[in-house]
Structure 1
Amino acid sequence: MGDDESTRWIIHGERVVDDTRKAQLSIASVELPDGVRFEQYVIRAPRAAMMLVLDDEDRALMMRRHRFILDRWVWELPGGYVDPGEDPAETAERECAEETGWRPRSVEPLISFQPMVGTVDSENLLFLGRGADPTGDAVDVNEAQEVGWVPLGELDQRIASGEIVGSASVIGLYKARDVRRSEGAQL
């Protein structure tokens, strides 16, 4: 299927409102294919890398933390921004160890996605770890209130109840469940 240029949105300019290491906020002047013009907020953020670690019991290593924007306690996967020049797999492994106190035994790519493609440009790279060893380091209270192993069999219930809401966690856990089912796991 080819690209139809007659349906392409046209950007007539973009002005930066704020620019920091973590994100750039701008306003773009956009023209739709029918000629309608409007302004759209655009956020450009660095790539992020997350780690989904599964143990032998088909449980995912997750952190429970407070997210002030939502003012809710949620379970999510460890991860963070990829530093300039850093390999994303190393970022995911490092963040997992720092945020949970567990270092994955293996690291393999799982999926890449853009969580808010209409407004935010921020590639999210998710890696799968199989098994983990404790680092012996205490979990930083600023990172997580609790670290635990969440059974993949509880995934639908925890998402429906609002315990797991972050796009990386939801996408990653569903993808991991599909991978495990394709490997013959009964979830």
Structure 2
Amino acid sequence: MLPTFPDLTEHHIETEQVVEGKFIRMHTDRVRLPDGSESHREYVQHPGAVVIAAFLDIDTLVFEHQYRYPVGKHFLELPAGKIDAGEAPLETARRELLEETGYVSESWQHALTMHPTIGYANEHIELYIAKDVKFVGHQRDEGEFLEVFTMSLSDAVARVGCGEITDTKTAFSLLWLDRFRDRWM
């Protein structure tokens, strides 16, 4: 059982937007701290994203291999994408799976919500499970380069364990899928 925690809420006083990009914004907020003093918080406002565990069968997942410019490395990832304004997360998941990988599914389940960067962003990532996916042909966005491949859940979890899969949304999703298999099978 968790202990009873005091209220540590920081209350918003004012916001200054310091950067506006195509899909992210950076803010500096003035806040009132629990002790009544004031401070500033810098954070990135993000529209949210989805990650998709797309199963061909009970153990085979669809993956992507792609280069991520901000980190300067290639990554093995589950399909994922940004939620567009006005779009429901499930629709984002369906769209991204088709666009990036060429797969579709009639069986979708929302598994959980992740908050990957709580220290500096309000981003949330919704994990969706798509079962019995079928290949119909991808429809990638212009300038989107990636390779699609499949791997078993157990092999993917082993690659998390040895440090080969390091993308947070993918690693967390794989470990959750493996540990809580009874919740989604």
| 3-state DSSP of counterpart to 1:115 | coil
Post-superposition offset of 1:177: 1.5
Unaligned runs of 5+ in 2: none
Question: In the alignment, what sits opposite 2:6?
Answer: 4
TM-score (normalizing by structure 2): 0.82
Aligned residues: 182
Aligned-partner Cα distance in 2 for 1:125–1:53: 14
Post-superposition offset of 1:76: 1.0
Question: In the alignment, what sits opposite 1:24?
Answer: 25
Question: In the alignment, what sits opposite 2:128?
Answer: 127
CA contact (8 A) 1:110 1:127 kept: yes
Post-superposition offset of 1:33: 4.2
CA contact (8 A) 1:64 1:144 kept: no
The reply to whether residue 146 of structure 1 matches residue 147 of structure 2 is: yes
Unaligned runs of 5+ in 1: none
Aligned-partner Cα distance in 1 for 2:37–2:158: 42
CA contact (8 A) 1:104 1:133 kept: yes
- Percent identical: 24
CA contact (8 A) 1:49 1:79 kept: yes
Alignment of 1:76-155 (within 5 A): 76-137=77-138, 142-155=143-156
Q: What per-residue deviation string (whole Å, max 9, x for no partner) do you get for residues 84-110 of structure 1? A: 332211210110110011112411111
Alignment of 1:63-74 (within 5 A): 63-74=64-75
| 3-state DSSP of counterpart to 1:147 | strand
Post-superposition offset of 1:75: 0.9
Q: Which one-letter code corresponds to 2:133 in the other structure?
A: A
Post-superposition offset of 1:74: 0.5
Question: In the alignment, what sits opposite 1:40?
Answer: 41
Question: In the alignment, what sits opposite 1:55?
Answer: 56
Post-superposition offset of 1:158: 1.6
CA contact (8 A) 2:52 2:80 kept: yes
Post-superposition offset of 1:164: 2.0
Cα gap change, 1:141 to 1:75, in 2 (>3 Å): farther
RMSD: 2.7
| 3-state DSSP of counterpart to 1:168 | helix
CA contact (8 A) 2:98 2:139 kept: no
| 3-state DSSP of counterpart to 1:120 | coil
